[in-house]
Structure 1
Amino acid sequence: MESQAHVTGDGYFMSGGKVVPFDLLIGKAMPDNRESELTRLTNLLTATTYFSEFLNLKKGDVLVVLADRLLDVRVIAAIRGVARARGIEPIVLTHHTSQVPEMPDWVKPLIEQATVVISTWFCSVIDPFNVAMRKRGQRWIKITFFRDFDLLYTPQARFPFELVGELAKATAKLYPRERPFDLKFSDSRGTDFRIGFTARMSEKLMSTNRWRGVISADEPGCYSHYLPTHGPNIYERGPCVDTPDQVVDMTGTVYPQWAVGFPEPFREKIGVRFDKDEIVEVTGESANAAILRDMLMGGKLIELGCGFNPKAPRHQIYPAGSNAVGALHFGIDLVKPSDYIRKTMPDWEEPPIHMDLVTFDSTVHAGDTPLMVDGVLEASHDPVVRAAAAAYGDPVELLDRWVE
């Protein structure tokens, strides 16, 4: 007796004389990714070891923690535990918000005594007092991305921060030196945007600790991010300018795919046009375009952040991302506080005078040299980076297997 042939249709196939829908079979050819309790413990110890090494606290350090009321108290306990192992009892100041715009005068005497500051406060990076303290050698660690202790159980926390540094150094090698060049951005939506770099701007930017591959809090005067996901900014106004009123040569239009505080990616192609350091036009007809137009006009690009951790969730853009390797966030300082931000994110870790626009698929050239293509960081293919990853495991799994 001959068996009857059955033709496989869309969304099902025949199995033992039965029609089996694909929906019932999703994932059955893939490994089970659930962690056992033993694996979870192993992973936690890996992450906590990196955490302790990252903080790099030393006997004799004076540690001040600038916290806020919404910070997971287990995070403070974890910091205190690492500190006590070095004979340090941290001073913890808890503000009612992380949106502290400038360092309060009453805090400054405590900060002046510190050798290390761990902070959630927004003013950490830009306040002139804090900048001056780092110039004196004070080490700063920003924990915007470590507000919940359970993050220590995630792949991004146990990704070796040494490899984040290797990815940064390999990217730094691609920047032209000792000559002007354009940092150029494009994508399939029609983005055509450029930032004119002078040799001095490039030199100043590349001299910062993260661009030199120093991701942890190892150097006097460092400014580091924990979790170690936020790599160095591919453009950052602070290091690039000599005076606050300096106009940076940037022109063109960016079409972001999403922005912090918006429930879903943009369905409309919304254009954000820059001219001479300032946003001069926001195109689009949708409600989101109108919100961004009211928010962004006259704003300035203060940082262009790039993710350097392949295990940072690629499409998680709250609170200030994405920080996945090759994703970009355009950090804009606004002319006035945004009512939209105040309504939708009253407890955001950034104040309502800042907005992050996000792209996942940008192609970026420094002069004629690609830094990333279609949202993939060129440094991921660098032989030095691959060799460094091999010391920790499979380079393909570590560098190329992203977390959604």
Structure 2
Amino acid sequence: MNHLATSTEPDQGSFFKQPRAVWAVAFACVIAFMGIGLVDPILKDIAAQLQATPSQVSLMFTSYMAIMGVAMLVTGVISSRIGAKRTLISGLVLIIVFAALAGSSNTVGQIVGFRAGWGLGNALFVATALSTIVTAASGSTARAIILFEAALGIGIASGPLVGGLLGEQSWRAPFFGVSCLMVIALVATSVFLPSTPPTGRRTSLLDPFRALRYPALLLTGLTAIFYNIGFFTILAAGPFALPDASIIDIGWIFFGWGLLLAFTSVFVAPLVQRLIGTVPSVITMLVLFMLDLAMIAVFTEHTPFVIAGIVLSGAFIGINNTLITEIVMGAAPVERPVASAAYSFLRFCGGAVGPYVALKLGENVGPHAPFWFGACAVLVGVVILTAGRKVVSGAHAPSTHSVAEAEAELVGDLA
């Protein structure tokens, strides 16, 4: 077959019996999401060797996330004109080039600039990858979301470990490592993903903004801004709250964080959803994440508490990622890529702001300040979603094949 199967087909066979195209894109997703946590273990080393402050180093997150957020607005426009496969390949090529250039840099400013190009490539790839997996996977949308979140979790988990192992040799090595791995992902995507010519309506630059006119999607996106401030505060400020930890120590700590994120996103999120519902689950996890950040803020000078808080936050982030993704997919009567672009634009704005402000507060106020800032931001997200829970719940109509049911299939296949 030279076309993608649609997710509206009935579920058949094992959860793991997916077309090769799905596994190729999922593998590329793993490598793409490595880029989020890859720099964590080497942040302090880059700051020391290139004589930069923590807030200056944090701009590697800011440029990456800011460009990703803005670029998300044009991914649908590009994909609807050149097709999903060409968009994915274009994103992969950009990541390969700019990751290698970042590894060749001699100043923090150069790394920040090349991370921006990397973010552009990631935007083209990630936004298109989700809709491609949803379209190509055998079974339901919920099943496809589980697969995507699993790839996301594995990538985020392995990123810090790869960064730590390679970073012990040189802070440049993790960048070159991702570039090489992306070459493999590029080949796999090129070979296994069938040709996907443009189909349907050509989207415009205004479509994501029009989608935000739907209150449920807007409220979810606004919640995500503040949630992601907390998320990226953990990533950026966490290493600097571990002054005695080596590069590989930080790599292992964030590897534990990422493993918990991956496990909970696939196995725990559906259980929590089935017990108390989707929106109440998200609100609960946001409250727990806020309390976790507050605990780190109180005990910043006690390394065991900081490590425990960092690792534990992976559970709350993992559950939220899966359930919020499902909410977004049904929050507005628009095409999935348009809804994803609108939501991603807002959430990556939070990811861009969080690291720089958090570490600037750490420099000017004290080591506790970044985590208090993250906790307060997540609290704002709790207030927004709690106030709008009826609107969001009303718009999110659970599918006949929910995430909980997809998770039950996965557990059965693993047994």
Q: TM-score, normalised by structure 1?
A: 0.26
Query: When you count helix as a share of all residues, which structure comes out higher?
Result: 2
Q: Which of the two has higher C-alpha Rg? A: 1
Q: TM-score, normalised by structure 2?
A: 0.25
